Amino acid sequence: MPPCLLALESSCDETAAAICTLEGDLISSRIASQIDIHRQFGGVVPEVASRNHILHVRPLVEQVLEDAGKTLDDMAAFAATSGPGLVSSLLIGTSMAKALAVAEDKPFIAVNHMEGHLLSPFMGDHGPVRSCVALIVSGGHTMLVRVRGVGDYELLGRTRDDAAGEAFDKVAKMIGLPYPGGPEIDKLSKQGDPNAFAFPRSFLDGRSLEFSFSGLKTAVLYELPKLDLKDTQVLADVCASVQAAIIDVLVEKLVLAAKSCGETLVAVSGGVSCNRGLREALTTRCSLEGLQLLLARPDLCTDNAGMIAFAAAQRFNTGHSSPLEADVDPNLSLVS
């Protein structure tokens, strides 16, 4: 069995651990989700999240080792997400990974959560990380990035206000759906008419690679008094129309970014990329435009430690490790 590394993810409300080989093959991965705990508050409560990370992190490490049939001694390095995210949550994963690194006398690797998402479409049999235009759509970020190789990233555009996932979550809250709203809107959209409401698509000026989703939220807010949301068809129509508005912008900007860079490979990741409608729209449009599309595997779209292990392995293979004094950074940037 080839050498492996163990990675932890605790940037928000999921505690996760994973082991992958240094070639990047995922061999075990577990997630302890706190969604049910935070749902009653309508969003993530940082203090509650960090307490639960403490409860879950050690059992998860033991479980992924057992699943992989490995011991700590078999690990070549220990990695953890060091930002961006909630400070009190990030500290749990990084402290654990650092402690394991010290105890086993192995390197510690701090991983940028967004790099984990960014590289996740290359996991599995999608081949080595290579030049592409990447779209990352998560709860906190919406970014277009030009990737020239591991660690060589150029920011092409980001959101000016809400992230795509945030837009899903905020609209869902307004129409009475539970947190997190993205999967709920996705589910209800199946029965809805995407053309029932003409919600705005903010393309900004035609050539801009930036995003803006706050106008969509306001448009839904103005529509609300006219709607009978107890009518399941009306609710489904609102969901389908909101989802279509978000998807149209994401697909259009990704194609524009790829064309403006002369790039034929595009990679899409982050929690929103498990949206069924987005995956279908991307597949259709990319094939029309002659673009090769890499989509993160659905179970690797939302937060997980597999993507952190994969990113850590890419870094480890280039001789990279992080000092134990390296602090967490809630605003850690992907590009310097």
Site residues for Zn ion, window 297-316 (CB under 5 A)?
Answer: 303
Of the candidates 157, 120, 114, the one whose C-alpha atom is nearest the C-alpha of residue 267 is: 120
DSSP 8-state symbol, 326: P
Q: Answer yes or no: are the C-beta atoms of 196 and 240 closer than 8 Å.
A: yes
How many of the other CB atoms lie within 10 Å of CB of 75? 21
Stretch near ligand KG4 under the rule CB under 6 A, chosen from 86-94, 98-106, 177-185, 257-265: 177-185
- Which lies closer to ligand KG4 via its Cβ, residue 56 or residue 106? 56
Gyration radius of the chain over CA positions: 20
Q: How far is the CB of 269 from Zn ion (least distance, A)?
A: 9
Count of residues that bind Zn ion according to CB under 5 A = 2
182 is an interface residue for ligand KG4 by CB under 6 A: yes
For 230-260, the DSSP string reads TSHHHHHHHHHHHHHHHHHHHHHHHHHHHHH
Strand order in the sheet with 14-21: 26-33, 14-21, 4-9, 75-83, 108-112
Q: Does 309 bind ligand KG4 (CB under 6 A)?
A: no
Q: Tell me whether residue 10 or residue 202 sits nearer to ligand KG4 (CB atom).
A: 10
* Residues 6 or more apart in contact with residue 188 via CB below 8 angstroms: 177, 235, 236, 239, 240
Per CB under 6 A, which of residues 127..146 are in contact with ligand KG4? 138-140
Write the Ramachandran bin of 262: left for phi over 0, alpha for psi from -120 to 50, otherwise beta.
Answer: left
Shortest distance, CB of residue 293 to ligand KG4, whole angstroms? 17
10's contact among ligand KG4, Zn ion, none, with CB below 5 to 8 A by partner kind, is: none
Minimum distance, C-beta of residue 240 to ligand KG4, in the bound complex (Å): 12
CB of residue 319 vs ligand KG4: minimum separation in angstroms?
Answer: 28
**Which single residue is written with the structure tokens 């479409």?**
121
Closer residue to ligand KG4 in complex, CB, 70/201 = 201
Select from 9, 169, 237, 263 the one that contacts ligand KG4 (CB under 6 A).
Answer: 169
Tokens describing residue 32: 């302890």
If binding means CB under 6 A, how many residues of this protein chain bind ligand KG4? 19
Q: Is residue 15 at the binding interface for ligand KG4, with CB under 6 A as the rule? A: no
Query: In this complex, which beta carbon is closest to ligand KG4, that of residue 33 or of residue 321?
Result: 33
Strand order in the sheet with 292-295: 152-158, 142-149, 132-137, 265-269, 292-295
Query: Which of 115, 186, 237, 263 forms a contact with ligand KG4 (CB under 6 A)?
Result: 186
Which string of x and - marks every residue 268-307 that binds ligand KG4 (by CB under 6 A)?
Answer: --xxx-xx--------------------------xx----
Contact (CB, 8 A) for 334 and 81: no
Contacts to ligand KG4 from residues 19-38, by CB under 6 A: none
Q: Does 93 bind ligand KG4 (CB under 6 A)?
A: no
180 makes contact, choosing from Zn ion, ligand KG4, none, with CB < 5 to 8 Å by partner type, with ligand KG4
- Provide CB contacts within 8 A for 335, sequence distance 6+: 145, 153, 154, 155
Contact (Cβ atoms closer than 8 angstroms) between residue 225 and residue 239: no
Among 21, 29, 82, 138, binds Zn ion (CB under 5 A): 138
Binding site residues, Zn ion, CB under 5 A = 138, 303
**What are the residues binding ligand KG4 (CB under 6 A)?**
12, 138-140, 165, 168-169, 180-183, 186, 270-272, 274-275, 302-303
